[in-house]
């Protein structure tokens, strides 16, 4: 009654799961990730414990195939389960029970798997695999592209309701000191995948802003400028505009800073009061110029 994608990013080592279903708050039951261990998805006749028990088995050193077989052994409902386990190193194991409601299938390769059940057509899963192979962008964006391809082929027979994405970061991302990992859920929406894509883009804008602030704090103006420019091209809200204005002022770009700050205050006047409450030469210079207008 759901379709999902699991991927390990070959370059960074990050691992993730993305899912869509005509079921309220699919994030609560299907996707599961754990830093340094792996990712799991359990659907069809869902048993949420398959996620954490499967990841416990991977953490204990079991091969994904053995971990999955251990979950299915003795399970009276194994024929109704659809489960995937992805280890942190890219090893994969997938099970589609013989009694899952058609159309039900999966495809997998080194570092990835796509699967679904109660699908509108038998093209959903292959379309997801094809889209994943050609997708570009961040790991989250590539997984969403796979979901979008599945939806184009009909997706869940019942329609759309919820979607979710979870990404566990790689060691390198954590060492850089930036926000890492993704955990975004759309529990109930007429276009859950579209909303998931929007939220992932907003999330990326906030991350770019944070990277810009970190770069400026360390004196790396070129990196700060690059991240601020990225943030401006992504969907975002007034919060990003406000703090980006502060950052552009630090770079000496007063015209950009003034434009963003005025826009933020116009959209949400409380940010004018926030500017008044800030201390330091950057905020003081912004206040001085904006009062002259």
> pLDDT of 254-273, one tens digit each?
999 999 999 999 999 999 99
What value does the mean pLDDT take over residues 221-245?
Answer: 97
Domain extents for the chain?
2-188, 205-291
Residue 111: count other Cβ atoms within 10 Å of its Cβ. Answer: 17
Report the pLDDT value the prediction gives residue 90, as an integer from 0 to 100. Answer: 97
CA distances from 68 to 7, 57, 117, 157, 174 (A): 17, 9, 18, 27, 29
**Res. 172 pLDDT band, cuts 50 70 90:** confident
Q: What is the DSSP letter of 150?
A: H
Q: Per CATH, the architecture of 2-188 is what?
A: 4-Layer Sandwich (3.60)
Please state, for a pLDDT cut of 90, what percent of the chain lies above it.
94
What value does the mean pLDDT take over residues 116-132?
Answer: 98
Lowest model confidence (mean pLDDT) among 86-90, 221-225, 280-284, 289-293: 289-293
Report the pLDDT value the prediction gives residue 185, as an integer from 0 to 100. Answer: 98
**Res. 178 pLDDT band, cuts 50 70 90:** low
Q: Between these two residues, 159 and 175, which has the higher pLDDT value? A: 159
On average, the pLDDT of the chain sits at 95
**Res. 202 pLDDT band, cuts 50 70 90:** very high
**Res. 1 pLDDT band, cuts 50 70 90:** confident
**Res. 180 pLDDT band, cuts 50 70 90:** confident
Please state, for a pLDDT cut of 70, what percent of the chain lies above it.
98
Distance in angstroms (rounded) separating the CA atoms of residues 208 and 231 = 5
**pTM reported for the whole predicted model:** 0.93
Alpha-carbon 93 to chain mean position:
22
Distance in angstroms (rounded) separating the CA atoms of residues 186 and 196 = 6
Q: Is the confidence at residue 293, as pLDDT, over 60? A: no
Please check whether residue 127 is in contact with residue 141, taking contact to mean a CB–CB distance below 8 angstroms.
no
> pLDDT of 5-53, one tens digit each?
999 999 999 999 999 999 999 999 999 999 999 999 999 999 999 999 9
Distance in angstroms (rounded) separating the CA atoms of residues 9 and 170 = 9
Q: Between these two residues, 170 and 242, which has the higher pLDDT value? A: 242
What value does the mean pLDDT take over residues 249-258?
Answer: 97
**Res. 292 pLDDT band, cuts 50 70 90:** low
**Dihedral (Cα; 213, 167, 4, 81), 10-degree rounding:** -160
């Amino acid at each position: 009654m759901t379709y999902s994608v699991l991927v390990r990013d070959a370059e960074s080592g990050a691992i993730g799961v993305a899912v869509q279903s005509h079921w309220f708050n699919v994030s609560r039951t299907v996707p599961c990730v754990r830093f340094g261990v792996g990712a799991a998805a359990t659907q069809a006749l869902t048993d949420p414990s398959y996620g954490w028990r499967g990841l416990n088995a991977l953490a204990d050193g079991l091969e994904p195939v053995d971990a999955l077989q251990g979950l299915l052994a003795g399970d009276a409902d194994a024929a109704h389960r659809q489960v995937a386990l992805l280890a942190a190193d890219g090893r994969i194991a997938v099970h589609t029970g013989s009694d899952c409601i058609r159309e039900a299938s999966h495809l997998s390769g080194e570092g990835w798997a796509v699967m679904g059940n109660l699908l509108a057509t038998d093209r959903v899963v292959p379309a997801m695999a094809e889209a994943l192979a050609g997708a570009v962008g961040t790991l989250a964006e590539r997984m969403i592209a796979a979901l979008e391809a599945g939806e184009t082929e009909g997706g869940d027979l019942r329609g759309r309701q919820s979607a979710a994405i979870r990404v566990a970061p790689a060691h390198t991302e954590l060492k850089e000191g930036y926000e890492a990992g993704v955990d975004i859920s759309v529990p109930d929406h007429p276009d859950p995948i579209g909303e998931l894509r929007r939220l992932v883009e907003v999330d990326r804008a906030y991350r770019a802003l944070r990277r810009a602030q970190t770069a400026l704090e360390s004196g790396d103006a070129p990196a700060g400028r690059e991240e601020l420019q990225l943030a401006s091209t992504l969907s975002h809200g007034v919060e990003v505009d406000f703090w980006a204005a502060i950052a552009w002022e630090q770079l000496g770009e007063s015209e950009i800073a003034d434009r963003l700050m005025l826009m933020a205050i116009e959209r949400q006047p409380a940010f004018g009061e926030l500017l008044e409450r800030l201390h330091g030469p950057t905020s003081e210079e912004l206040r001085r110029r904006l009062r002259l207008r």
